[in-house]
Amino acid sequence: MIGYVMLGTNDLDRAANFYDALLEDLGAKRAMSDPGRFIGWSNGAGPMLAITKPYDGNKANFGNGVMVALAAGSQEAVNKIHAKALSLGGSDEGAPGLRGGTFYGGYFRDLDGNKFVAFHM
């Protein structure tokens, strides 16, 4: 049902470097772009993740309560993605661990403050 998720950024080049490195561990590569405007990544199997400079020209900001979930293939993959996000300059929002039965997730924010969880069930 979801085709893609678009996140705002104030520094497209900085964000692109973050996502190039982070999403490679999920098998995603740049799938489309409009130079200086937006970039989208896909692993060919699910929705695309994209970043953009806001169309209205205003400063990008993150939404309170908004979160993007990245499906990982194992608990080890969750640990790796979470650690990589932090090593790339992201911030910790909750260390990887079990939450509610079989849900294993690690929470972080990207360089613009957008919230993510890498998870496995």
pLDDT tens for each residue of 48-74:
999 999 989 999 998 888 999 999 999
Q: Report if residue 62 sits inside a domain.
A: no
Tokens (6 digits) for 16: 């692109």
The CATH number of the domain holding residue 104 is 3.10.180.10
Residue 37 belongs to domain spanning: 4-55+67-120
Number of separate domains in the chain: 1
Half-sphere exposure of 61 (CA within 13 A, CB side): 5
pLDDT of residue 82 exceeding 80, the answer is yes
**Phi, then psi, of 15 in degrees rounded to 5:** -65, -40
- 28 found inside a domain: yes
Any domain includes 61: no
pLDDT of 121 strictly over 90: yes
Q: What is the pLDDT of residues 86-116, one digit of tens each?
A: 999 999 999 999 998 899 999 999 999 999 9
pLDDT of residue 2: 85
Token couple for 66: 């908004």
Residue 60 within a domain = no
For residue range 17-37, list pLDDT tens digits in order. 999 999 999 999 999 999 989
- Class of residue 65 by CB neighbours under 10 A (exposed 0-12, middle 13-18, buried 19+): exposed
Q: Quick check: is 79 in a domain? A: yes
38 domain-assigned:
yes
Letter for the amino acid at 78?
Answer: V
